A and B are shown apart, each in its own frame.
Chain A
Amino acid sequence: RKEVEQDPGPFNVPEGATVAFNCTYSNSASQSFFWYRQDCRKEPKLLMSVYSSGNEDGRFTAQLNRASQYISLLIRDSKLSDSATYLCVVKGGYSSASKIIFGSGTRLSIRP
């Protein structure tokens, strides 16, 4: 089993739709969680951190389920510009020495 697993997609949804995808992790001791966005042939950019209580940033909502060991990302009212690959990142702890694992990413394509 991979340490961090994501459905590779692609998710192909119409503009304005709501889309959600999950990321599962195997290390129950993991402490920090993030979602990054990566456009084609570009570097990953931080989308949002994921907090235990869940957090929202505009149209984006991230949630953490420690019992089932997954994090989720919900995008409401999707825009064409949301088309990208979304990477799940899991850290074993809070320090910079903590092991960081990147998921392989979920491709999202928004159609007009």
Chain B
Amino acid sequence: DGGITQSPKYLFRKEGQNVTLSCEQNLNHDAMYWYRQDPGQGLRLIYYSQIVNDFQKGDIAEGYSVSREKKESFPLTVTSAQKNPTAFYLCASSSASGGQETQYFGPGTRLLVL
């Protein structure tokens, strides 16, 4: 089955700790995205990547880092510099074929600070 997987489903972070969220897709999509969703709010873009070995900051990149070494994978690291990391993190991908291409989302990771 083609799709996007994220792991873990729940993640707990201690103060001062860096944690990495996994995102893998087998849809052969070029573009991948990371969003953060807080309760009662819309999705906010953290980082996106249109091609392997290239990525761009979104609206709220501070305290986060990413890599795109493989087309299928776009991991997100939440660093200790992110002071309010508790949120629902969603990874998405889309083809870069132009037109009305749409984003498909993974099931998300809930990050909680201990």
Contact = CB atoms under 8 A, between A and B. Distances in A.
Interface of A: 4, 8, 32, 34, 41-46, 49, 51, 87, 94-97, 100-105
B41 A104 contact: yes
B72 interface: no
Contacts of B31: 96
Nearest to A43: B105
B104 A46 contact: yes
Given A43-B105, A102-B43, A104-B42, A95 B90 contact: no
Contact of A49 (B35, B56, B94, B102): B102
Contacts of A102: 35, 42-44
Given A44-B43, A102-B43, A94 B102 contact: no
B57 to A, nearest CB: 12
B103 A100 contact: yes
Given A34-B102, A43-B90, A45-B105, A97 B40 contact: no
